[in-house]
A and B are shown apart, each in its own frame.
Chain A
Amino acid sequence: MADRTGFRRYWLHFGVLLLSIWTASVAVGVLLAPVLPSLPHIGLIGLALFVSMLMPRLTGRPAVASAATAAVVGPLTTLLVPSLGIIAGACAGVAAGTVTARRIS
């Protein structure tokens, strides 16, 4: 019973604090944006965030094959159907990673 109570208290506090900090961080960024100079490469921040999340995961051939395939398929699809770029890139990447992993094993 105490364990279940601890579980609830832990995740309640964790969730509320996480939501507060996350929302405050985004709000700071939104308020900070007009102060920053209008440099053209500010639009690349999003890309840099995704790349920074991707790099630690490139630990093997399947992961590299998946990322490379998605990097090709995603932009190409975006040129044709802009709203399907992420979906097509993700599906192609997962397929390429799965096929590569099966070939290795």
Chain B
Amino acid sequence: VSTVLTRPAVGTPRAAPAAPAPRAASTGPSPTQLARTDLLAMSSTMIPFGIALGVTVASLRIGDGASAAGAVLMYAGAAQLSATTMLSNGAAFVAVVLSGVIVNSVCCSTGLPWSRPSGTSRGGSAGSGSTSSSTGPSSRPWGGLH
């Protein structure tokens, strides 16, 4: 899925003083529209990942409440999966937190030069996989996912 990234027009010809040209920022899509477009591009991988994660977590018998709370509180797929698995196996809280941090760590997953996926100059979102789309908003005027 590719996202058509559009920027506000730059260098548009100047209009006559009687009819001033519209501001460049108003010609491009709004930040809200850009957010929706970027999220749409990510949804193709994020939704199947979330459903698979939900099935896995439900099969761990840790409880539906804990599964839903994990999705909201941890907000990260791979770390949530590893943490929930360890909790269901009775691991110590410190070990669960440390494992979640490691899985979610930018340093371990994408920050090291030799661990980056091919074709990317900077890493994707840490560990989640669902937010590591290369078609993210990296070319936005105000920054992007990294």
The bracket for how many chain A residues form the interface is 35 or more
Q: Is the CB of A10 within 8 A of B140?
A: yes
Interface of A is mostly: helix
Q: Are B55 and A86 closer than 8 Å at their CB atoms?
A: no
Min C-beta distance of B81 to chain A, whole Å: 5
Q: A60-B114, A66-B115, A87-B95 are in contact. Are A49 and B39 (CB under 8 A)?
A: no
Contacts A3-B141, A9-B32, A82-B89; A14 near B38 (Cβ below 8 A): yes
Q: Is A76 an interface residue (CB 8 A)?
A: no
Q: How many residues of B contact A (CB 8 A)?
A: 66
Which B residues are in CB contact (< 8 Å) with A17? 35-36, 39
Chain A residues within CB distance 8 Å of chain B: 2-4, 6-7, 9-11, 13-14, 17-19, 21-34, 36, 42-43, 45-46, 48-50, 52-53, 56-57, 59-60, 62-63, 66, 82-84, 86-87, 90, 93-94, 97-98, 100-101
Q: List residues of B whose CB falls within 8 A of some A CB.
A: 25, 30-32, 34-36, 38-39, 42-43, 46-59, 64, 67-68, 70-72, 75, 77-78, 81-82, 85-86, 89, 91-92, 95-96, 98-99, 102-103, 107-108, 112-118, 127, 129-132, 137, 140-143
